[in-house]
Amino acid sequence: NAGVTQTPKFRILKIGQSMTLQCTQDMNHNYMYWYRQDPGMGLKLIYYSVGAGITDKGEVPNGYNVSRSTTEDFPLRLELAAPSQTSVYFCASSYTGTGAYEQYFGPGTRLTVT
Amino acid sequence: GQNIDQPTEMTATEGAIVQINCTYQTSGFNGLFWYQQHAGEAPTFLSYNVLDGLEEKGRFSSFLSRSKGYSYLLLKELQMKDSASYLCAAMDSNYQLIWGAGTKLIIKP
């Protein structure tokens, strides 16, 4: 099991560019999440998905979009990148079927927008 | 509103015991999580409490009081590798995690 994988690990974007952060999990988890973590701050939920074809906004969704066409994949799209989107992005997944809500995290993508 | 409070930084000595406190306010409550995050890495799960009381797992224990909106993480026999940030997160009525900013634990020899 690879768990949760994310690509790329690092990326530098210019203002106004777009990119997609990839996330894949091989644990057959139903829930998937995208968080951002700014220095010295807690994790902020961007979007989440409770299953294939279903997504919903979190606390800070502006400037981002997601899709969930399969159980395994949950890409995050940044349109028109802005310096405020400089952050570390974590994808996570969990299985809620047994009442265990532990979230498993990918290694993160460090994004700089200049 | 929803809020998690935990100390920003704590310092302890190798071999000692340290307690990291967390208070929470959420819309509904479905449990309290503790995660460990080493610098530059992803958070990893440590514990989950949904009932009042103490849960022990090796050198780490976690306590919950639902009536007080309070939890703590107790680390015993501290090792240098325990130097990390410890994140407290409460699960609200929508099963979403509300995260604290983390407590940076510095271990000195």
Q: Are A23 and A104 in contact (CB under 8 A)?
A: no
pLDDT digits (tens, 9 = 90+) for A36-79: 999 888 899 999 999 999 999 999 999 999 999 999 999 999 99
Asked if residue A97 has pLDDT above 70, the reply is: no
Mean pLDDT score of chain A: 94
- Entry field: residues in chain B: 109
Can you give the pLDDT at residue B72? 98
A10 touches B: beta carbon within 8 Å? no
pLDDT digits (tens, 9 = 90+) for B11-67: 999 999 999 999 999 989 999 999 999 999 999 999 999 999 999 999 999 999 999
Cα–Cα distance for residue pair B93/B74, rounded to 1 Å: 26
Q: Among B30, B41, B99, whose Cβ lies nearest the Cβ of A42?
A: B99
How many beta-carbon contacts under 8 Å exist across A and B?
44
Can you give the pLDDT at residue A39? 85
Instruction: Give the residue-averaged pLDDT of B82-91.
Output: 96
Instruction: Give the residue-averaged pLDDT of B78-91.
Output: 97
Can you give the pLDDT at residue B88? 97
Q: Which residues contact B42 (CB under 8 A, 6 or more apart)?
A: A90, A105, A106, A107, A108
Q: Are B29 and B90 in contact (CB under 8 A)?
A: yes
pLDDT range class, residue A96, cuts 50, 70, 90: confident
Q: Give B-chain residues touching A103 at CB under 8 angstroms.
A: 45, 97
pLDDT digits (tens, 9 = 90+) for A5-36: 999 999 999 999 999 999 999 999 999 999 99
Beta strands A104-105 and A87-94 are antiparallel
Handedness of CA B19, B25, B30, B36 (dihedral sign): negative
